[in-house]
């Protein structure tokens, strides 16, 4: 995901959710609340410092029938968990 060389500063996701500093399950609640703001087929990035998000974003995708794409990093090196809205 987002592997285009030199394009790291210009993310390919349509929506970035800033969940820095939030603790579980707040980043997942934020994702559930807002993922419908993007169109079907588009990407949402959950930018989270909470380590539980690394497991819980893919698990949410599996439980809610959405597609987990990959883990990327933002320009400030915070993990970004990228989800594709498929329904």
Partner 1 sequence: MTTPAYLDAASSEPLHPAARETLLAALEHGYADPRRLHGPARNARLMLDNAREVVASCLGVRPDEVTFTPSGTHAVHLGVLGLLAGRARVSPVLARGAVEHSSVVHAGDWHAARGGSVIELPVDREGHVVASALSMESLGVESLGVVAVQAANHEVGTVQPVAEIADAVDAPLFMDACAAAGRIDLPTGWATAAVSAHKWGGPAGVGALLVRKGARWRNPFPGDDRIDERSLGFENVPGALASAAALQAVTEARAEIAPRQHALVEEIRTRVAATVPDVEVVGDPDSRLPHLVTFSCLYVDGEALVTELDRRGFGVASGSACTASTLQPSHVLAAMGVLTHGNVRVSLTLDATADQVDSFLTQLPDVVRAIRAQVDL
What is the torsion angle, in degrees rounded to the nearest 10, for the CA atoms of residue 5, residue 28, residue 24 and residue 20? 40
A 10 A CB-CB count for 17 gives 22
Least distance CB 54 / partner 1 (angstroms) = 8
DSSP H or E run through 19: strand 15-19
For CA atoms 2, 78, 6, 38, give the dihedral sign: positive
Report, in Å, the least distance between residue 51 CB and partner 1.
6
Instruction: Specify the DSSP class assigned to residue 33.
Output: H
Of residues 20 and 54, the one with the C-beta less far from partner 1: 54
- Contacting partner 1 within 12-71 (CB under 8 A): 23-25, 28-29, 32-33, 50-52, 54-56, 58-60, 63
Residue 76: CB minimum distance to partner 1, A: 22
Which positions lie near partner 1, rule CB under 8 A? 23-25, 28-29, 32-33, 50-52, 54-56, 58-60, 63
């Amino acid at each position: 995901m987002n592997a285009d060389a030199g394009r790291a500063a210009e993310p390919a996701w349509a929506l970035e959710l800033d969940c820095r500093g939030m603790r579980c399950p707040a980043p997942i609640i934020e994702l559930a609340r807002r993922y419908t703001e993007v169109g079907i087929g588009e990407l949402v990035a959950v930018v989270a410092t909470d380590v539980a998000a690394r497991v819980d974003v893919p698990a949410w995708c599996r439980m809610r029938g959405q597609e987990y794409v990959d883990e990327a990093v933002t320009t400030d090196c915070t993990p970004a968990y990228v989800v594709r809205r498929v329904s």
